Amino acid sequence: MLIAARNPLIIAGGGVHYSGAVAELTAFAERHGIPVTETVAGKATLLADHPNFVGPLGVTGSTSANAMAEAADVVLAVGTRLQDFTTGSWSVFRNEDMTLLSINVGRFDATKHQAVSVIGDAKVSLGELDTAIGDYRAPSAWLEHGAEERRAWYGYLDEFTGREFEPPTYAQVIRAVNEVCDPSDYQLSAAGGLPGELNMGWHSKSIASFDAEYGYSCMGYEIAGAWGAKMALPDRDVVSWVGDGSYLMMNSDIYSTVMTGHKVIFIICDNGGYAVINRLQVNTGGEEFNNLLHTTRHERMFRVDFAQHAAAMGAISEKVATIDEFKEAFVRAKGADRSYVIVIEVAQYDWTEGGAWWEVGIPEVSDREQVRVARAELDAEKKHQRRGV
C-alpha cells in the first residue's frame, strides 16, 4: 500500500525517541521523500528547519501538519498512541480512503482504528519496511506542498508573536527563549496551556531536546521532573516552563535543585489562574467562572509573589514585565551558579491557533444560547471523524 501512495505522511511519536530510532526515521523519510509530522511526545525528532518536517500534528499542532493529514492517502504512524490531541479526536484525517499503517510495541495501540498493524520496535520495523518498499519515492510535488504549508505556518507564528500584547503571550515568551537559548538547552513542561503553546511555537534546535509530560496534565512534573532531567543531563541547561497553577500545586523541589546543585532555569508564566481551562469553559458555551482569579468568589484577589517565594527556597529569582527584560533575565539565568527563577505575567485570553478540533461533551439541551451554538458546532465536526474501532 505504501508503494502506491501519492500523498504519504509519517507521524513521529514518542516511541521513536524511546527506540533510539531518530536517525532511522529521518533517513527513511529523506530516502523516500515523505513529509514528517510529530506528536507532543515525538517532538524534536526532526529539527524545525528540516526539509521533510511539516509541523506538529493535532489539537495543539499546526495548520500545516493538519492540512497534510487531511489530504494524506497513507499515514505511517510510528510509536504513537494516536490519542485525542494528536488526531483532533480523529477528525484531522479527512480522506475517507486513507490507509493507516501503525508501528508500535503495544498491540492495543498498533491495532487502533482498523490500522494495518506492525507490532514491533520502531527502529527495527523501519529498517524492515525500508527494505520492503525498495526504491519507492513519493511524488516531489507532495513534499513541496508540505514545505509551502510549513512556510505559511511559520509566517503565522511570526505575525502572531510580532503583535503588541499587554501583558505578552505565552507564544511571545516562547519565541524569546527560542531566539536566545543554546541549541543544547532542554525544554520541559507538563500542564495547562504551556505544553500546547510550546508544541505549536517551539522550533526544535537539537534532537531529543523537548519533554512535555502531558498524559493527564501532570501538574507539578515541571519542577520535580526538571530536577530529574538535570541529573540525567548535567552538562546541559534544563529550562522548565511552569504555570502559576502548577507552581502552587508543587514547588518544593526548587529547594531540592538548590540543595543538590542541580541548576534549573524555571520560567514561571503567571496568567492569574487556570486560563486554558477558562478558555475551554467559554468555548463550550459556558460563562467565565472560578478559573481565573478575577472571576472567583473571594473577598479580595491576591496575586502570589512567586519571585519572593522562590528566593525563600534558595533560588536566584526576579520578576520581569516585558519581552526585552525577559531576554536579559534569561542571559543572567544562563550565567548563574544555581537554579534561577524568572517570573512574567502573561495574557489570559490570547492563544496560538493550530486549526484542529477537539471533542468535548456539550449538553444537548440548554437555556443558554452559547451552549446551543457550541453543541451545533460539535455535531457538525463529529461528521468528520474517522470511522473505526
Q: What is the pLDDT of residues 246-273, one digit of tens each?
A: 999 999 999 999 999 999 999 999 999 9
Percentage, residues of the chain above pLDDT 70: 99
Q: Is the pLDDT of residue 389 over 70?
A: no
If you average pLDDT over residues 282-301, what whole number do you get? Answer: 90
387 pLDDT band, cuts 50/70/90, is confident
pLDDT in tens, 44-55: 999 999 999 999
Tell me how far apart the alpha carbons of residues 260 and 231 are, in angstroms, rounded to a whole number: 10
Return the pLDDT at 355.
87
106: its cell numbers: 503495544
Residue 113 gets which letter from DSSP? G
Tell me how far apart the alpha carbons of residues 107 and 239 are, in angstroms, rounded to a whole number: 35
* Mean pLDDT, rounded, of the chain: 95
pTM value surpassing 0.75: yes
Tell me how far apart the alpha carbons of residues 219 and 247 are, in angstroms, rounded to a whole number: 8
Non-local (6+) Cβ contacts of 36 within 8 A are: 9, 10, 11, 12, 25, 29, 45, 46, 50, 52, 53, 54
Return the pLDDT at 128.
97
Q: Is the pLDDT of residue 212 over 80?
A: yes
Tell me how far apart the alpha carbons of residues 133 and 125 are, in angstroms, rounded to a whole number: 12
Q: Is the pLDDT of residue 233 over 90?
A: yes
Return the pLDDT at 213.
85
Give the H or E element holding residue 101.
Answer: strand 99-104
| Radius of gyration, CA atoms only, the chain | 21
Percentage, residues of the chain above pLDDT 90: 92
Residue 184 gets which letter from DSSP? T
Q: Is the pLDDT of residue 37 over 80?
A: yes
Return the pLDDT at 200.
97
Distance of alpha carbon 94 from the chain centroid: 22
Return the pLDDT at 308.
98
377 pLDDT band, cuts 50/70/90, is very high
Return the pLDDT at 322.
98
User: Which residue segments constitute the domains of the chain, with CATH numbers given?
Assistant: 2-152 (3.40.50.1220), 163-345 (3.40.50.970)
Least confident of 146-155, 230-239, 377-386: 377-386
Return the pLDDT at 2.
77
If you average pLDDT over residues 45-66, what whole number do you get? Answer: 98
If you average pLDDT over residues 5-14, what whole number do you get? Answer: 96
Return the pLDDT at 218.
81
| Helix 323-335 vs helix 170-180: crossing angle, to nearest 10 | 40
Return the pLDDT at 216.
62
